[in-house]
Chains A and B, each alone.
Chain A
Amino acid sequence: MDASEGEGRRTFLGWVGGVIAAMIGGAVGIPLVGYTILPALKRQKLSWHDVGPVAELEPGSPKEIDCIHSVTDGWQKTTTKKSVWAVKDGQGAISVFSPLCTHLGCGYRWEGDQRQFYCPCHNSYFHLDGKVLGGPAPRPLDTLPVKIENGRLLVIYKEFKAGTPAKIEL
């Protein structure tokens, strides 16, 4: 075997090792990257929650109702109770508002005599339909997805970024 033949053989054997190392690296490395990154990027699965019969809502009179909020953190699941505001208008259409003020996320309340929602933290006022009447709130109250099935109201609880003119889901 002359020198160039020997060198060619060395290069070939080097390539064999390199290709196998690259294949194993890819077969393990790519799944590991997905394994580490993808679960962190997943959005939480949100589910519908039954918050009670629609018939209990009176037109023009907002009602604070409890809504179960399930949070999945990896293998741990916790459920917390959140209250949301449900409003039926004159035509019978129903809106459900997130309980957090769109300014900085305080809880607001309904002032029956004034017929408006009032946030005591920084004096934001909202109309029955959620529009801003006054104060620093940058956008109307955040509406939540609702549907009615068999006379019962179903809601998906979500939270949104506070302080921005646009409604950005967290």
Chain B
Amino acid sequence: MGRQIVQWLDNRLNLGPIRVALLDEPIPGGASWIYIFGSITLFFFLLQMVTGMFLSIYYSPSTEHAYMSIQYIMDDVEFGSFIRGLHHWGASGMMVAIGLHILQVFLYGAYKKPRELLWVVGVVLLILTLAFGFSGYLLPWDQRAYWATQVGINMVGTLPVIGDVLIRVIRGGQNLGAMTLTRFFALHTLFLPWLLMTLVVLHLFILRRVGPAGPWDAAQAAHISEPFWPKQVAMDAVAIGVAFTLIASLALLVPAPLSDPANPSDTSFTPVPEWYFLFYYQLLKYLEGPLEIVGTVVLPILFFLGLFALPWLDRRQGRRPVSRPIVMGAGAGFLLVVFTFLSLSLYEVASLPTSDPSVLRGKALYQELDCAGCHRIHGEGEAFAPDLSYVGDTRSRDWLLQHFKNPQAVVPNSEMPEYGLNEEELSDLTNYMLTLKK
């Protein structure tokens, strides 16, 4: 049936040449597991597109509703936590795949003539992906999002002359608020996807025009040549299957984080960026005072200029790593710096107080109101009223909020007094209750 449909279409649209262009591209040296990373990156981009489109069905890009709409996706929408998990972990997966893809191209010297344009478009794609990560981080409008974005945008302010103007343009006004959220939402869901898609097509077009580089050993490259279909396609498919299984497992087992709602007046929150910005975040800690601008402006500009210019900086014949000691040394040095700062940062982040301030306040409130006079948590407290040890598993946020507001409206015979808590106290106590899980 499928074959007949393809045949029917082929007879009318003459698909043969397109199939040849897409699938029969010869790979010098034959198919290899080392070439899978570009395809994995493309797969993650498609996964991000699909899950992102579906997340926007329920997401509301306003400071009033963004947080609640994410909470709704996580708690009330069927498969919502899984879909958001795929989007959250898929972003990390895409960064890892891009990193490995760049590493492979770098190691194989595949950016050299005649593939300079392929490399340049690739570097632009890397920048766009980082912009995706930064703009998407703000959208849940929780404390993490608000404060990390605040710091990220303020770094732009260290730019001489245009810094202040640029900050206002990025924020959409004087403060990080409603205008920033709609800007970031538009950027993340409309501008960047189109731009990235166009450049992915250009990247693939250039690849098809210049052809894959193949092994760095010219004799080995000339030895055999194998078309992209079917062996490389099958290898890519297996690799994509493994990558997807990892991300889907993470999405199921580790829900995407959502901290307290953004609160511009709560300065006690320590913002931490997404892990792929952590090494840079750590680096900035060592560059204070007059050196700050080196970290925020000079180094990033030099780094990306260096990346763009790499095919023209490394012009010697031959792609063997041993014949390119300077470039290989620079690459290894860069990786050493990245992983050293990343490890230092992870170590410091791990030692930060991990408890949500709202949960701590809720716990304090529980003691202040002497809830243990009636309730028991893991054996502590009286047993007149229901045991709360695992109340987070059995009650929803809404139920708890309503119950604390007016216990008898939810449980008509309840003997629990009405404490007249304000909105913040209600939220704190509920957040604490929701942490009581098996």
Contacts and interface: CB of A to CB of B under 8 A. Distances in A.
A34 interface: yes
Interface in A137-170: 149-150, 154
Interface stretch (B202-210, B231-239, B294-302, B334-342): B231-239
Interface residues on A, range: 20 to 34
B32 to A, nearest CB: 15
Given A20-B238, A27-B248, A34-B79, A75 B68 contact: yes
Interface string B62-85: 000100110110001111101100
Interface string B314-351: 00000000000000000000000000000000000000
B412 interface: yes
Given A13-B233, A32-B83, A49-B409, 20 more contacts: A10-B230, A14-B230, A14-B234, A16-B237, A20-B238, A20-B240, A23-B241, A27-B244, A31-B79, A31-B83, A32-B50, A35-B78, A35-B80, A35-B83, A47-B409, A48-B409, A48-B412, A50-B408, A74-B69, A76-B65
A6 B243 CA distance: 29
A74 B240 contact: no
Nearest to B47: A28
B50 A28 contact: yes
Given A32-B54, A32-B79, A50-B408, A21 B237 contact: yes
B238 A50 contact: no
A37 to B, nearest CB: 9
18 contacts: A14-B230, A17-B233, A20-B237, A20-B238, A24-B244, A27-B244, A28-B86, A31-B78, A31-B83, A32-B83, A34-B78, A35-B54, A39-B76, A39-B78, A48-B412, A49-B409, A50-B408, A50-B409
A154 B406 CA distance: 14
Q: Which of A20, A23, A36, A50 has the most CB of B within 10 A?
A: A20
| Chain B interface SS verdict (over half) | helix
Contact of B413 (A17, A32, A39, A150): A150
A38 interface: yes
Nearest to B43: A24
Given A10-B230, A28-B86, A36-B57, A75 B412 contact: no
